Structure 1
Amino acid sequence: MSTIIDVAKKAKVSKSTVSRVVSGKGYVSEASRKKVLCAMEELAYVPNSIARNLQSGETKTIGFIVPHFIDPLSIFLESFLSIARQYDYYVTIFFTDSDKQKEIEAFNQLKYKQIDALFILTRANDWDVITSYAKYGPIATWQRIDSPVIYSAYVDHYQGYFDSLTYLHKRGYHKIGHVLGNAKNLNTKARMRAIKDFEARYQLKVPETFYFYDSLYSNGRAIAQKWHQLSEKPEAMAIYSDAVAAQFISELENLGYHIPQDVAVIGFDNSEISELIHLTTVDYSLRYQAENAFIYLYNQLNQLNLPMHQLSIELIERQTVPIRQH
């Protein structure tokens, strides 16, 4: 098997010149570059990336943990992969099925230097367990956490949710139902605070039957069945995920209802599915959240201070929340 020394001898250049051609870093004259490339081809030389990684102490690879495919993943992952390519980083995806041990196996790849950093879309293990791995490399997450060692690429769901409820109220909807995520998550707690403040401002009271919880991004159809069975039904539904909102709408249409005539619906994330079904939604800058997560990891790995995006919240008006005619 040919080595970098063999290539240098064949091309009649220094070993450092060959190294610069292989890495793409540093100046090499065009004449020398051509000689090195010809020598590499003649000798069938393949650069040993593992050896380079061991020498440099990095793999140029970031792990990306996700429990299963959820609707926001497509936007987030596409943006994360795109910016990683721009900075010459690879991304290894770990689908864990929310299995704690599978997640630990991904953490151990960070511990044993098989990857340089980790991004966690949503977690299975407790934060105390995850935080213990931060000493082996930088960790970022999409979930909301206040931690000195784990970066959280989140947007304040309080303001987005409060604004969406205010928007519904101004359009004439006073009986609003809420489909919320996992009750333990900080984002869900932020939405609950927004509901309480909204009720206080407009002197409203939401019946307990108007609250629905979903932690799997998959219960929209079941929630539609529950809505159908209510004797007093919400006039509008604020649903924490576009995917769950789409499932909710589809099931209600199967039951013979018409959207938005029978119930207005607002989703969150501004994912592709929301555009396809003309769903009014709230854009939480998912693409910029993904890019900020990568930039944080990149800065930590390379001791840089590249600027991050300023995140914004925008209501996207479509067809599922018309002005209500009394």
Structure 2
Amino acid sequence: MTTIIDVAKQAQVSKSTVSRVISGNGYVSQESREKVLDAMEALAYSPNLIARNLQSGETKTIGFLAHGFIDPLGIFLESFISIAKKYNYYVTLYFTGSDKKKEIEALNQMKYKQLDGLFILTRANKWEIIEPYSIYGPIATWHRIDSERIYSSYVDHYSGYLRSLDYLFQRGYRSIGHVLGNYENLNTKARIKAIDDFHQTKNLSFNDEWIFYDKSRLDNGLSIAQRWHNMTEKTDAMAFYTDSVAAGFISELQNLGYSVPEDVAVIGFDNSEISRLMHITTVDYSIKRQAENSFIYIHNQLNQEKIPEQEMNVKLIERQTVPLRKL
């Protein structure tokens, strides 16, 4: 079997020079690099990455865990991969389909030294089951979680959602429906508090029928549109926790003969591509920087560095689904 020593002899350079060419780390002159590459080709040498990983104790690979495709995934994954590449890390994507066993299998990749760290976009198991795996490598998530063992890049959904409701109020809307995520999530609880505070501050009446909970995101925009259609007291605006469900709601309302925003105003949350394509007013809560900060945390933990995190801001993006309403 051809070794790195054989390549060094063939190229007439040192073993360390060959190592720097293979790893991409450290300075190598163009002349020496070409000699090494020519020698590798002549000897049909292929670096033994597995052996190298075992020796160094790292794979330079971060796992990215999700149930499947959801609307923010594209933005988040693209940003995460981009910054990982900047620091010479690879990203492996795991789709679990909400299967708890498959999620544990992915977590075990850290235990068996096949991943250096893990980012969780969506989870199947409870946090108390996931947390112990942090002894094998750093774990980050964008979910809001109070944990000393798992990093969270969350933004304050209370202030972001309250801003959405204030905006709707300023535009003339008084009966507002709310489409929220899983009730157990801390972000959902923060939004519920924002709803309570908003109605108390504005002295507005509230109907329990105006709150909808969505656990899966799959086709729920359609079912919420049908429920809105059957309401005896329809809201004049709907605030969604994610753009993809808002888009499904708008699409189904059109099938039912309604028009947005003429019949009901809609505001989303994410500022994802679908909101831009469908001209949905939405809230941008720094998904890209959430992704960057999650990777920075993992990188800092693995390399004992202190790269500063990016500042995150919440911005309202005005488009066409929340027109000014005459009272």
Shorter-chain TM-score tier: over 0.9
Residue 214 of structure 1 is matched in structure 2 by: 214
* Shift of residue 20, structure 1, vs aligned partner: 1.9
Partners of 1:28 and 1:281 in 2: how far apart?
A: 49
Percent of aligned pairs with the same amino acid = 67
Question: Partner residue of 2:176?
Answer: 176
Q: In structure 1, what is the Cα distance between the partners aligned to 2:76 and 2:26?
A: 33
The Cα of 1:40 is off from its aligned counterpart by 1.3
Verify: 1:240 aligned to 2:252, yes or no.
no
Report how many residues are paired. 326
Match of 1:88 in 2: 88
Matches within 5 A, 1:291-310: 291-310=292-311
Deviations 1:289-309 (A, max 9, x none): 111101110111111010111
Scaled by the length of structure 2, the TM-score of the pair is: 0.98
Alignment pair present for 1:8 and 2:4: no
Paired letter, 2:297:
Y
Which residues in structure 2 correspond to 1:22-61 (within 5 Å)?
A: 22-61=22-61
Between the aligned partners of 1:180 and 1:54, the Cα distance in structure 2 is 45
Partner of 1:20: 20
Counterpart AA for 1:303? Q
Q: Deviations for 1:54-111, whole angstroms, at most 9, x for unmatched residues?
A: 1111000000110111111111111111111111111111111111111000011111
TM-score by length of 1: 0.98
Q: Which residue of 2 aligns with 1:155?
A: 155
Instruction: Give yes or no for the alignment of 1:324 onto 2:286.
Output: no
Task: Give the Cα–Cα distance (whole angstroms) in 2 for the partners of residues 123 and 198 of structure 1.
Answer: 31
For the residue of structure 2 that corresponds to 1:268, the secondary structure is coil
Rounded Cα–Cα distance in structure 1 between residues aligned with 2:286 and 2:27: 39
- What is the alpha-carbon distance in structure 1 between the residues aligned to residue 279 and residue 32 of structure 2? 58
User: What do residues 203-249 of structure 1 show as CA deviations (whole Å, max 9, x unaligned)?
Assistant: 11220110111011120000000000011000100011100000000
Equivalent residue letter for 2:193: R
Aligned equivalents of 1:193, 1:122: Cα separation in 2: 23
Counterpart residue type for residue 291 of structure 2: A
Q: Please report how far the alpha carbon of residue 150 of structure 1 lies from its aligned counterpart in structure 2 after TM superposition.
A: 0.5
Alignment of 1:242-257 (within 5 A): 242-257=243-258
Secondary structure of 2:178's counterpart equals: strand
SS of equivalent to 2:268: strand
In 2: Cα distance, 1:139 partner to 1:245 partner:
30
For residues 264-279 of structure 1, the aligned pairs below 5 Å read: 264-279=265-280
The 1-side partners of 2:216 and 2:88 are apart by 34
Instruction: Tell me which amino acid in the other structure corresponds to 2:204.
Output: L
In 2: Cα distance, 1:256 partner to 1:248 partner: 12
1:235-268 alpha-carbon deviations (Å, 9 max, x no partner): 1000111000000001111110111010000000
Q: SS of the residue aligned with 1:62? A: strand
The alpha carbon displacement at 1:30 in A equals 3.4
Question: Cα deviations across residues 130-181 of structure 1 (Å, max 9, x unaligned)?
Answer: 1110111000011110111100011110001001101101111010000010
Distance 2:82 2:267 in 1: 29
Counterpart in 2 of 1:65? Answer: 65
- Distance in 1 (alpha carbons) for counterparts of 2:87 and 2:53: 16
Q: Distance in 1 between matches of 2:31 and 2:10?
A: 14
Structure 2 counterpart SS, 1:37: helix
- Whole-Å separation in 2 of the counterparts to 1:224 and 1:31: 66
Residue 13 of structure 1: CA displacement? 2.3
Q: Kindly indicate whether residue 184 of structure 2 is the aligned counterpart of residue 199 of structure 1.
A: no
Question: Which blocks of at least 5 consecutive residues in structure 1 are unaligned?
Answer: none
